[in-house]
Each structure stands twice: as C-alpha cells, then as structure tokens.
Amino acid sequence: MVEIKKMKIAIFEDNKKYRESLEFVIVTCNDMELCGSFEDTTRLLQKIEALQPDVVLMDINIPGLNGIEAVKEIKENFPQIQVCMQTVFEDADKIFASLCNGASGYILKNTPPDKILQAIREVAEGGSFFTPSVAKKVLYNFQQQAQQGEYIQLTEKEKEVLRYLVDGLSYKMIAGKVNVSFHTIHTHIGNIYGKLHVNSKGEAINKAMRNKLV
C-alpha cells in the first residue's frame, strides 16, 4: 500500500484556545501533519528551517515579529513555503501589506474548519484563498484605487497565464489549462515577474489588477 505524503503545517498563533482548535483541525485531517505550533515568532527563521513546513498559518497580531513582517522574512528566505494569514482584521492596509509581502491566503478567524482546510490545500498547490468578505474588500479597493497603468508588454500566452494566476489557480492547474509543461509555466511566470518588476505572486496580482492587465 502506497503511503500518501502528508502536507506539513506550522502554526503561529498567540491565542491559546484558537491555536489549540487549529491544532485539532490539522491533526484529525488525513492528508496533513502538524509539524510545529508556536505562540510567538521568536527565532522564526530557525524554526522554519528546522521544520520545513509546506504551509504556515500566520497570525497578523502576534508577539515578536508581527505577521506581516514574518511573512516577508519567510518568503525571502524560503520562497517555496506558502503562508496563509489568519486574523480578525479586515483592514485593507493589512490585507495588501500581507499580499505584497508574499502571503497566498488571508482568512478570518471565524472561518469554519472545512474552509480552513480548503485554504491550506489550495495555497499548498500554489493557488490563493481568501475569506469571501476579504475577497470583496480586495476587489473593491483595487477598483477604487486603480492607478493609471504603465506600459507593460506581455505576450498573449503570458496574459493567459497571468489571468489564471489572478484566478487563484496553482501552477499545476495552469499548466493543464494552457496545455504546456509545469517547467514551462515556471518560465512564463518568471518572465511575467520580470516584466511587472515584482518578486511575489501577491505583488503580481496587485499590479495586474491595478494596471488592468487581466
């Protein structure tokens, strides 16, 4: 019998009751493994390096390095690790700061357990996940704050890939949609990042929306 490789999940959450509820959700899930759970971000990079999680659930308002700064540190040092923010805040500035620093998801703490698991799986696959109220706020703010677009010349294939990226599809799913290899998708996305002058998925989505590229 082939053993299914479990996704490794690390939790950074200072609220003990909520942290324990997250731990229970993870440990009772067949395709996930809880590799670490912490009440602050002390020695953050050392912990991440030792645990090598696939997904980090990160509280924004956490002692030590706050969640927004923490996601930046994680993505700069471990770009392959996906980070999903968890918070009670729907503040637009916190949402955009998290996305621009590399977060792949942003969910509120009243999100049901099944949606938390859905968020983890989607970001682990390279996609994105937002609580519906947060997604609406993101769209509204992009529409209200849209800036005059700079000249960015993307090929038709790059526009197609970028469109799927904005829709939250993983690299693997995009490859299937575009009918090219996973490696080719990585090349396209590297070219897109270069032309947009960005370094993360959040920044690419932000710039694509602001410049009406999709």
> Is the confidence at residue 135, as pLDDT, over 80?
no
The CATH number of domain 148-210, selected from 3.40.50.720, 1.10.10.10, 1.10.3720.10, 3.40.50.11750: 1.10.10.10
What backbone phi and psi angles, to 5 degrees, belong to 152? Answer: -130, 120
172-181 long-range contacts (CB < 8 A, ≥24 apart) are 172/125, 172/126, 173/125, 173/127
- 2 or 26, higher pLDDT: 26
Tell me the CATH number of domain 7-142, given options 3.40.50.1240, 3.90.1300.10, 3.40.50.2300, 3.40.50.620: 3.40.50.2300
Residue ranges, comma separated, of all CATH 3.40.50.2300 domains in the chain are: 7-142
Q: Give the rounded distance of the alpha carbon of 148 from its chain centre.
A: 27
For range 75-100, the mean pLDDT:
86
Is it the case that residue 148 has pLDDT exceeding 60? no
Check residue 210 and give its pLDDT. Answer: 76
pLDDT above 70: percentage of residues in the chain: 91
What is the per-residue pLDDT across 158-202, written as a single tens digit (0 to 9) for each? 989 998 988 888 888 999 999 999 889 988 988 898 888 888 888
H or E stretch including 86? strand 82-87
Angstrom distance (rounded) from CA 162 to CA 190: 11
Q: Which residues contact 107 (CB under 8 A, 6 or more apart)?
A: 84, 85, 86, 115, 116, 119, 129, 130, 131, 134
Report pTM.
0.67
**Three-class SS of residue 45?**
helix
